A and B are shown apart, each in its own frame.
Chain A
Amino acid sequence: TQLLEQSPQFLSIQEGENLTVYCNSSSVFSSLQWYRQEPGEGPVLLVTVVTGGEVKKLKRLTFQFGDARKDSSLHITAAQPGDTGLYLCANGDDMRFGAGTRLTVKP
């Protein structure tokens, strides 16, 4: 099992600020997924990255997969209160999750 470490664990920012959260491992992945989870609901897939160095954009969210395919980042531009939630990364090989980053965006 490849362990995923997510940082920071908690993040509280004001609306309009930018932020980056990280997902790291000592192992190489063939693919990595990012999910967002709201309280009382299951995670919802945001993106899957499969190629080292890959960058994917989803509106104000930018996902990057490290060149060595051991790490990934999620950058949110001009955060909004609707971005509040638990952001999870998952190893696409065995579908194990990190502990997540809990983001709160204050209006």
Chain B
Amino acid sequence: DTGVSQDPRHKITKRGQNVTFRCDPISEHNRLYWYRQTLGQGPEFLTYFQNEAQLEKSRLLSDRFSAERPKGSFSTLEIQRTEQGDSAMYLCASIPTGGINYGYTFGSGTRLTVV
């Protein structure tokens, strides 16, 4: 296992279109996090899963955003009716439950550009 994989690396879409990103965490990691990062800022928490259960959602996650982790393995983040303000880097991270001392492993992110 080579780490956390995110697909695609880059996505350009027209305003109003729907987009879906995928994250494949490290296989033995129970927790999976999604973040959004804009230029010059730190990652903003969006949501996280413990296995297949979505345990927390940020208020940043409007009703246009939805995330799933149906089998407790990979996760998808969908944005409906994209807006220019959705342009950002979307990061995924995973960690084993109780593994705080090991830190979170991040993927390389999906850079979304809404035109």
Contacts and interface: CB of A to CB of B under 8 A. Distances in A.
B41 A48 contact: no
Contacts of B25: none
Contacts, number: 55
Interface string A24-44: 000000010101000011111
A67 B107 CA distance: 33
Main secondary structure of the interface of A (DSSP, over half): loop
A31 B43 CA distance: 18
A99 B42 contact: yes
Interface stretch (A12-20, A58-66, A77-85, A90-98): A90-98
B103 A48 contact: yes
B48 A95 contact: yes
A31 B48 CA distance: 19
Contact of B43 (A40, A43, A48, A50): A43
Nearest to A89: B42
A72 B33 CA distance: 24
Contacts of B76: none
A33 B108 CA distance: 19
Interface of A: 6, 31, 33, 35, 40-45, 48, 50, 86, 88, 90, 92, 94-100, 102
Which 10 residue pairs spanning A and B have beta carbons closest together? A42-B106, A45-B103, A97-B42, A100-B42, A99-B42, A97-B43, A92-B100, A43-B106, A88-B42, A48-B101
